[in-house]
Structure 1
Amino acid sequence: MSQIENQLINHEEEIDLGELFTILWQRKWFIVLFVIMCAAGTYKYLTLIPDRFTSSILIMFKESNSNNDAMASIMSGGLSAADDTETELELLKSRRFAGQIVDNLHLTKHPEYILNNDKFSNTYNDTSIRRSHAIDVLSKNMKIDKTSGTNLVRVSYVSLSATHAATVANDIAKTFINFKQELLEGKNQDRSAWLSTKLLGVKISLEDAEAKIVEHQNENDFVDINSAIAIEKSKMAQMTKEKLTLSSNINELELLKEQVTRYEKSPEELANLLRFSTSATIMASKNEFNNRQLEFAQVKLRYGTKHPAFKKAKQSLEDAKVKVVLDFKDHVNMLDKKFSLWQSKLLSVDKQLHISNQRLKRLGAIEFDYQKLRREFDANLQLYENLVKKLKESNMMQDLANASNVLLVEKAEVATKADNKKKPLIMALCILLSGFIAMTFVLIQAFLANKIIQFRKVVRQFDTKLVGIIPKIKVTKNKDKPLYALDMNKHEQFFEALRTTRTNILLDNKLAAQKVIAVTSITPNDGKSTLSIQLAASFSELEKVILIDGDLRFPSIGNTLCQDVNRPGLTNLIAKKSKLSDCIFREQGYGFDVLPAGFVAKNPLLYLSQPRLSKVIEFFKTRYERVVIECPPIMSVSDAYVISKHVDSIYLVVDAEKTNKADLTNVLEELKQAKVEVGGVIMNKARRSQGYYGHNYYRSSRSDFTGIKFA
Structure 2
Amino acid sequence: MNQNSRTVPDADQPFVSLGGGLSEESKLELLEYWRSITKRKWAILGLGLLVALLAAAVVYSLTPVYRATSTVLIEQGKRKVLSIEDVYGGMSQEKEYYQTQVEIIKSREVANRTVRGLRLWEYPEFDPRKPDTSLIGKAKEALGIKAEEVAWNEDRLVAATVETFSKSLSVEPVRLSQLVKLSFEAEDRQLAALVANAVADAYIGADREAKFSMTQQANDWLQQRTQALRDKLATSEKALQAYREKQGIVSLSGSAQTVIGQQIGEVTQRLVEAKARRAEAESAYEQMKSVRDGDYSSVPAVVRSTAVGEAKRQESTAALKVAELQQRYGSEHPRMVQAQSELKAAKENTLRQMQTVAASLTREYESARATERALEGALSSAKGTVQNVNRQEFQLSVLEREVESNKQLYDMFMNRAKETHESSDLQSAVARVVDPAVTPRLPVKPKKSQVIAIALVLGLFAGVLIALLLDKLDNTVKGIEDAERRFQVPVLSALPELGAAEGKSAMTMFIDKPESHLAEAVRTARTGVLLSNLDVPCRILVVTSSVPGEGKTTVSSNLALAHAQTKRTLLIDADMRRPQVARRLSLPPTVKGLSALVAGTARVEECIFTVKGSPLAVMPAGEVPPNPVELLLSQRFRETLDALARHYEVIIIDSPPVELVSDALVISPLATSTIFVVRAMETASPLVRKSLVRLQRAGANVLGVVLNHLDFSKSQRYYGEYSGYGKSGYEGYGYGQKKNAA
Q: TM-score, normalised by structure 1?
A: 0.54
Give per-residue Cα distances to partners, 1:261-301, cap 9 Å, x unaligned: xxxxxxxxxxxxxxxxxxxxxxxxxxxxxxxxxxxxxxxxx
Cα distance, 1:521 vs. partner? 4.1
The offset of 1:114, in angstroms, is 1.3
Q: CA 1:615–1:424 in structure 2 vs 1: closer, same or farther (change >3 Å)?
A: same
Counterparts of 1:192-591 in structure 2, within 5 Å, are 405-419=430-444, 421-452=446-477, 470-476=495-501, 479=504, 482-484=507-509, 488=513, 491-492=516-517, 494-495=518-519, 497-498=521-522, 515-521=539-545, 526-538=550-562, 544=567, 546-551=569-574, 553=576, 557=581
Q: Secondary structure of 1:58's match?
A: strand
Q: Deviations over 1:60-85 (max 9, x none)?
A: 12341689xxxxxxxxxxxx943432
Which deviates more from structure 2 when the two are superposed, residues 155-164 or residues 35-44? 35-44
Aligned to 1:356: none
By how many angstroms is 1:647 displaced?
Answer: 0.9
Amino acid at match of 1:647: A
C-alpha deviations, 1:314-367, integer Å up to 9, x for none? xxxxxxxxxxxxxxxxxxxxxxxxxxxxxxxxxxxxxxxxxxxxxxxxxxxxxx
Give the structure 2 partner of residue 20 of structure 1. 36
Larger radius of gyration between Structure 1 and Structure 2: 2
CA, structure 1 residues 463+404, in 2 after alignment: closer, same or farther (shift >3 Å)? Answer: same
Within the alignment, does 1:643 sit opposite 2:667 as a pair? yes
CA spacing shift, 1:518–1:123, aligned 2, 3 Å = same
Q: Distance in 1 between matches of 2:172 and 2:531?
A: 72
In structure 1, the gaps of 5 or more residues are 68-79, 195-400
| Match in the other structure for 2:170 | 143
For each residue in 1:97-146, what CA deviation from the matched residue of structure 2 results, as whole angstroms up to 9, or x when unmatched? 12112222222323222115379963352332211122223222222222
Task: Give CA deviations for 1:197-238 in whole Å, capped at 9, x if unaligned.
Answer: xxxxxxxxxxxxxxxxxxxxxxxxxxxxxxxxxxxxxxxxxx
Q: Report the Cα distance in structure 2 between the residues aligned to 1:499 and 1:436, rounded to whole angstroms.
A: 44
Could you say if the C-alpha distance between residues 636 and 11 of structure 1 is closer, same or farther in structure 2, counting changes exceeding 3 Å?
A: closer
CA displacement at 1:626 relative to structure 2: 4.7
Separation in structure 2 between the aligned mates of residue 143 and residue 513 of structure 1, nearest angstrom: 91
CA distance in 2, matches of 1:583, 1:13: 51
Corresponding residue for residue 111 of structure 1: 124
Match of 1:169 in 2: 196
Q: Is 1:181 the counterpart of 2:208 in the alignment? A: yes
Offset of residue 531 of structure 1: 0.6
Contact 2:477–2:681 (8 Å) recurs in 1: no
Q: 1:540: how far off?
A: 6.5
Deviation at 1:96, TM superposition (A): 0.7
For 1:166, the aligned partner's letter is A
Shift of 1:631: 2.7
CA distance in 1, matches of 2:591, 2:470: 51
Matching residue's letter, 1:705: Y
Which whole-Å deviations, capped at 9, do the CAs of 1:130-172 have from their partners, x for residues lacking one? Answer: 1112222322222222221111222222222222222222223
Instruction: State the Cα distance separating 1:687 from its structure 2 match.
Output: 6.0
Structure 1 residue 95 displacement after superposition:
0.9
Q: Give the match's secondary structure for 1:451.
A: coil
Change (3 A) 1:193 1:160: farther
What corresponds to 2:62 in structure 1?
49
Query: Structure 2 vs 1, CA of residues 702 and 579 (structure 1 numbering), >3 Å: closer, same or farther?
Result: closer
User: Offset at 1:479?
Assistant: 3.4
Please tell me the residue identity of whatever aligns with 2:667: I
Q: Distance in 1 between matches of 2:128 and 2:64?
A: 20
Match status 1:97 vs 2:97: no
Residue number in structure 2 paired with 1:131: 158
| Identical residues among aligned pairs (%) | 22
CA contact 2:120–2:126 (8 Å) conserved in 1? yes
Could you tell me how far apart the structure 2 residues matched to 1:490 and 1:443 are? 37
C-alpha displacement of 1:666? 7.0
Q: CA deviation at 1:684?
A: 3.7
* 1:109–1:425 distance in 2 versus 1, CA, 3 Å: closer
Structure 1 residues 53 and 615: alpha-carbon distance in aligned structure 2, compared to 1, 3 A threshold: same
CA distance in 1, matches of 2:480, 2:638: 33
**More deviation, 161-170/178-187:** 178-187
* C-alpha contact 2:184 2:196 (8 A) present in aligned 1: yes
Per-residue CA shift, 1:425-464, capped at 9, x if unaligned? 2112212322332343344335434422799999999986
In structure 2, what is the Cα distance between the partners aligned to 1:535 and 1:662?
26
- Offset at residue 673 of structure 1 (A): 6.1
> Contact 1:82/1:151 (CA < 8 Å) preserved in 2?
no
CA 1:134 to 1:620, structure 2 compared with 1: closer, same or farther past 3 Å? same
**How far off its partner does 1:49 sit?**
1.7
**Mapped pair 1:629 → 2:653:** yes
* Residue 648 to residue 13, structure 1, CA distance change in 2 (3 Å): farther
Equivalent residue for 1:155, pick from 175, 182, 188: 182
Partner of 1:330: none
Structure 1 residue 473, shift from structure 2 partner: 1.3
* Aligned-partner SS, 1:153: strand
User: What is the rounded CA distance, in whole Å, between the counterparts of 2:441 and 2:20 in structure 1?
Assistant: 68
Aligned counterparts of 1:143 and 1:508: Cα–Cα separation in 2: 80
CA distance in 1, matches of 2:194, 2:561: 91
Of the two structures, which has the highest relative contact order with CA contacts closer than 8 Å and spacing of 6 or more? 2
In structure 2, relative to structure 1, the CA distance for the partners of 1:457 and 1:40 (3 Å cut) is closer
Question: SS of 2:180's equivalent?
Answer: strand
Whole-Å separation in 2 of the counterparts to 1:5 and 1:667: 15
- Shift of the 65–635 alpha-carbon distance from structure 1 to 2, 3 Å rule, reads closer
**What is the rounded CA distance, in whole Å, between the counterparts of 1:500 and 1:190 in structure 2?**
105
Counterpart position of 1:38 = 51
> Given the alignment, which residue of 569, 594, 606 partners 2:617?
594
Deviation at 1:183, TM superposition (A): 2.7
In the superposition, relative to structure 1, how do residues 433 and 116 fare at CA in structure 2: closer, same or farther (>3 Å)? farther
Indicate the residue corresponding to 2:735 in structure 1. Answer: 705
Q: Supply the AA of the counterpart residue of 1:546.
A: T
Aligned twin of 1:286: none
Shift of 1:175: 2.8
